[in-house]
Structure 1
Amino acid sequence: MTTLHELRLLPWTGPDGKPCFLSTGDNGGHMSRLADNIESVQLGMATELLDQAVDLLADADTDPDDLRLLTKDLAGALRDTLRVATSRGQRLSSRSTDHQSR
């Protein structure tokens, strides 16, 4: 039976918004590499969005609609970043447990 620590939280959700997991011992497999690439893109987009937010917030004439869109985009980027951090934290924790049991 596969435990939660053996599952990788993927950087996307299913159609109903529920988390998706990958069960594999192959960290270099196609799905693992795809997830790694998507995580990298998500973190890069969050960095770019943060830069845009700093610029937008520094402008006293920023339109309220632009601020609402910024808030929506920042919330999405934060959600993605937290999912990446959770996934990576779980994988680090399971590696630590694996090394301790040897």
Structure 2
Amino acid sequence: MSDPQEARLVPWTTPDGKTCIVVGDGAGAVSRIADGVEAVQLDMAEDLLGHAAEMPADRKETFPELHHLARQLSSSLREVCRVAESRRVRPQG
């Protein structure tokens, strides 16, 4: 009996923004790289949220700093949503 082959959304896109998918048993090199990238993205999102929670309390930030924070939060949220979508379509075992 062969290992089941499953499609997985990976946490990156092509240079022109198209979705990338890997097909396999989840144990291959690309799947391991995707797992590592997802872990880094989630850790960075958590760190960014901590920074965002502290920043407005200081009331010393300039508009450009807050604008940069908003852009980073938006980017991070996009990555976290992609991780969630990837995990939603993969069976959890």
Task: Tell me the TM-score normalised to structure 1 length.
Answer: 0.81
Structure 1: 5+ residue runs without aligned partners? 1-5, 97-102
Deviation at 1:65, TM superposition (A): 0.4
Deviation at 1:39, TM superposition (A): 0.2
Distance 1:58 1:14 in 2: 39
1:14 matched to which residue of 2?
Answer: 14
3-state SS of paired residue (2:9):
strand
Deviation at 1:34, TM superposition (A): 0.5
The alignment status of 1:85 with 2:69, answered yes or no, reads no
The alignment status of 1:61 with 2:60, answered yes or no, reads yes
Q: Which amino acid aligns with 1:61?
A: K
Task: Tell me the TM-score normalised to structure 2 length.
Answer: 0.88
List structure 1 runs of 4+ shifted beyond 6 angstroms.
none
The alignment status of 1:40 with 2:35, answered yes or no, reads no
Distance 2:15 2:7 in 1: 19
In proportion to residue count, which structure has more helix? 1
User: What's the RMSD between the two structures over aligned residues?
Assistant: 1.3
Identity %: 44
3-state SS of paired residue (2:55):
helix
Q: Deviations over 1:65-99 (max 9, x none)?
A: 0000000000110000000000001003xx68xxx
3-state SS of paired residue (1:7):
strand
The correspondence of residues 89-100 of structure 1 with structure 2, limited to 5 A, is 89-92=88-91
3-state SS of paired residue (1:11):
strand
Distance 2:53 2:44 in 1: 14
3-state SS of paired residue (2:12):
strand
1:99 matched to which residue of 2?
Answer: none
